[in-house]
Amino acid sequence: MGEVLIGAEELVEAMLSDRPPVVLDVRWQLGDDRGYDHYRDGHVPGAIYVDLNTELAAPPSAARGRHPLPELADLEAAARRWGIDDGVPVVVYDDCGGMSAARAWWLLRWGGIDDVRILDGALRAWRAAGIRLSSGDTVPRTGSVTLTGGGMPTVGIDDVAATGALLLDARAGERYRGEVEPVDPRPGHIPGAVSAPTGESLADDGTFRTAEALRERFASLGADGRDVVVYCGSGVTAAHQIAALEIAGYGAALYPGSYSQWSNDGSRPVEAG
């Protein structure tokens, strides 16, 4: 497993090196569609804005979920638009603890890029370090990266139904329990899933908890000696949990359709509580 995280000061050093990374701004949150406006107001110098809904996902559908995986050719075309070449490192960030940036981290790793890191602590850490921001747009050069696919494991809806793996639900606890459901048609969770809110992988300052703390967390949920599958609402925050699992030393597969696909299929059972 490669390094998952990079700190703000370390990123500055990398940007000044003879092999600077491509930096991607992936600001997106459920209920906030102003990510591009936030980017224009202030971003890491040289960062390229990435639209999660249109560039990190295929069009939504009840059959595939709210954020289906994009076709590999579409992801490759987007990565080239962002200026990524073969062998060039990539750093991704957002302004919400890496919750949306992890989608880009996972997808690019899935596409076959090995050196992709998440800015630990997100833009909050960059600001806390007193490093300047840029405003407006960054115009990227055109890259030439070739994506091969298959770099990260996935499972489909039928695999989830039959799996003997530890199934972790990365959504907030109240959504897992079915107490609230803001977007999906049936409240609750996939039967047999264990509640593991992805926010609990972060410390109070928005950085990831230590590898030791994360190992203890996932071991307590039953990860030792088992295959692990992670889902969330639409496969976005689940990628953050996979990053946390990797920091802890565990591998995990993503169920991309996640609960938005599962709950739209009336033949699939749902549990609450």
Active site residue 96: no
The region that residue 170 occupies, defined by phi over 0 for left and psi between -120 and 50 for alpha, beta otherwise, is alpha
H helix intervals, the chain: 8-15, 35-41, 52-55, 72-81, 101-111, 122-128, 157-162, 173-176, 211-220, 237-248, 258-262
CA separation, residue 247 to residues 8, 180, 238, 266 (Å): 18, 30, 14, 36
Helix (H) or strand (E) holding 119: strand 116-119
Catalytic residue (choose from 167, 228, 232, 236): 232
Catalytic site residues? 232
